[in-house]
Structure 1
């Protein structure tokens, strides 16, 4: 009678299997570091303004719009693989418009993590990986104290084992996304070690900074994160500014502040060749707090809030 075990793609388990079948000359070889490509992109929600799941045609329309903005024209980021069948709906739109996807796999709650990972695996089976840019296992999960660092590291290795070893896409970087305070904490060292890249979330607005200190705050966060993460490749996975809502400390939510921070931050990131993902591409009327509805550079209907092309 065959013995059945629950499939798990932990990099450690896969490495043991590969070591058993690899030629002797491969034993002990150091894997090459994954190169994170330069890119600029934006986040897209899984729902439409009416709260319904995003249709494929709506996704195509949005990505065509994003392609008109040279500074955001390489990638789109999704914050789930499974909600609204997000990934399987988005991939055809990305392939039709020539964008790649920065995927987020929820790391919290074992059942949810398994579902999210399965949806990513289904996408790899169905479409290969030409559409895939990076994978973030979790987003601010440590900052929100939703998961232990060692468990998050294990889940990053699990997804890496699936993407790199089981399906052979070793050029796809897998990591996670956190603010600088988390990366600076030595408790996060196992997560740094497990990751191909460190994803950094930076919101000067939520730090109560005036917009004229926006890029200074961004630079400081990048400098401190790099110092704490042993030179791992860095991606700014989220940064942005709201165009409406209440002030937070000295930070004013206004269209003028959004336009200024976008132009100054993106220009500097491009000059420094630091990959980035703008949060967000479009306003999200379904968000709970008023200010969180207004982080898009486009209104929910696709109208640009300011001159995005230059």
Structure 2
């Protein structure tokens, strides 16, 4: 099957191919059994991401949702030392929903800055204050029972709190943004948040757009519509793609079907046209939310062999595939066997001729 590059996607990002961009996955604070991830868990996850076979580029960045270690009050999350150990870039996250204060989040971050120093701060590429908070209080968020969210006034306050907390620290000049759905960004009542942030993180899932003809064959059109809507709302501010993907298993959603083939197709037609062009954190490397019936994980049990071939079509413009050591070894073995076979045939012919 031939995959054409959706040029509208590339053009809407407004980036040259040579521009630096970050490539990674999202990472929650708990395992698929809802146990807190420890440093070793994060290390294995980050290491797997960098060693995925046939990966189109190096997935060496991680988007976090919180600075706090699960089941603690304000202890820095153990993803931080894991990122240092694996040299993984970090898009930090501050959880904002269901609270009137982010003091504990800021305490955890401040402690990490002091404890780990430049080994930590040099890895931070940005900070997202919140994740889909404004979507949760929208009509569609309430309809889908998305949980407790926050309004734009509170989000602006939290963003200002973060800037004040970082003043005078090595992270004082790090981009501060917010992550939300494209519908939240397109909602004019949330413009105050756009005015306050340095970047807009947007979560784009054609699979869930059941009112837009969301069969996999229409995924590119739905994705472009959502992305362009975010870009239009953002004005001149950069848009980072903080979540996107297609489930391998799960329930039908409108016309969308969760299958391995469709997940692979989405990777090819969407992923391969944005990797290396804009900051992307794919959803996701390994499923860790047991409450979500749709499973998006690229790999099972953190194996470096993904559930489908990650290599991109030659005409996609994506970075070249890496981590091909096994393939090279196999190719070498085949070449050796072929050479030996030819040698044996020649010797057999020679002996026959002499006889």
Q: 1:245 to 1:110 in 2, by over 3 A?
A: closer
Supply the distance in 1 between the matched residues of 2:77 and 2:28 (Cα, whole angstroms).
14
Supply the distance in 1 between the matched residues of 2:76 and 2:216 (Cα, whole angstroms).
34
Q: In the alignment, which of 134, 139, 142 is matched to residue 134 of structure 2?
A: 142
Q: 1:99 to 1:161 in 2, by over 3 A?
A: same
- Aligned match of 1:174: 176
- Aligned match of 1:10: none
- Aligned match of 1:233: 238
- Aligned match of 1:27: none
Aligned to 2:290, what secondary structure does the other structure show?
Answer: coil
Q: Give, in angstroms, the shift of residue 58 of structure 1.
A: 2.2
Aligned to 1:52, what secondary structure does the other structure show?
Answer: coil
**1:269 corresponds to 2:274:** yes
Structure 2 unaligned spans of 5+: 1-18, 138-148, 312-320, 322-355
Q: Give, in angstroms, the shift of residue 160 of structure 1.
A: 2.0
Q: Give, in angstroms, the shift of residue 133 of structure 1.
A: 1.6
What TM-score do you get using the length of structure 1 for normalisation? 0.81
Supply the distance in 2 between the matched residues of 1:42 and 1:124 (Cα, whole angstroms).
23
Aligned to 1:217, what secondary structure does the other structure show?
Answer: helix
Structure 1 unaligned spans of 5+: 1-35
Q: In the alignment, which of 25, 38, 43 is matched to residue 26 of structure 2?
A: 43
Supply the distance in 1 between the matched residues of 2:226 and 2:153 (Cα, whole angstroms).
24
**1:115 corresponds to 2:104:** yes
Contact 2:267–2:310 (CA<8 Å) still a contact in 1? Answer: no
Q: Give, in angstroms, the shift of residue 301 of structure 1.
A: 4.2
Question: What count of residue pairs does the alignment treat as equivalent?
Answer: 270
**1:248 corresponds to 2:253:** yes
- Which is greater in Rg? 2
Name which structure has the greater RCO, CA cutoff 8 Å, separation 6+: 2
Aligned to 2:150, what secondary structure does the other structure show?
Answer: coil
- Aligned match of 1:24: none
- Aligned match of 1:74: 60
Contact 2:48–2:302 (CA<8 Å) still a contact in 1? Answer: no
Q: 1:118 to 1:190 in 2, by over 3 A?
A: same
- Aligned match of 2:36: 53
Q: Give, in angstroms, the shift of residue 186 of structure 1.
A: 1.5
1:131-151 residue CA offsets vs partner (Å, 9 max, x unmatched): 212111111100101212011
What TM-score do you get using the length of structure 2 for normalisation? 0.71
Q: Give, in angstroms, the shift of residue 111 of structure 1.
A: 5.3
Q: In the alignment, which of 184, 188, 191 is matched to residue 190 of structure 2?
A: 188
Q: Give, in angstroms, the shift of residue 47 of structure 1.
A: 2.2
Supply the distance in 2 between the matched residues of 1:237 and 1:248 (Cα, whole angstroms).
22
Q: 1:250 to 1:139 in 2, by over 3 A?
A: same
- Aligned match of 2:223: 218
Supply the distance in 1 between the matched residues of 2:300 and 2:100 (Cα, whole angstroms).
34
- Aligned match of 2:48: 65
Q: 1:170 to 1:115 in 2, by over 3 A?
A: closer
Aligned to 1:38, what secondary structure does the other structure show?
Answer: coil
Contact 2:29–2:37 (CA<8 Å) still a contact in 1? Answer: yes
Q: In the alignment, which of 292, 304, 307 is matched to residue 306 of structure 2?
A: 304
Contact 1:91–1:131 (CA<8 Å) still a contact in 2? Answer: no
- Aligned CA RMSD, in angstroms, stands at 2.1
Q: Give, in angstroms, the shift of residue 91 of structure 1.
A: 1.3
Q: In the alignment, which of 124, 129, 133 is matched to residue 132 of structure 1?
A: 124
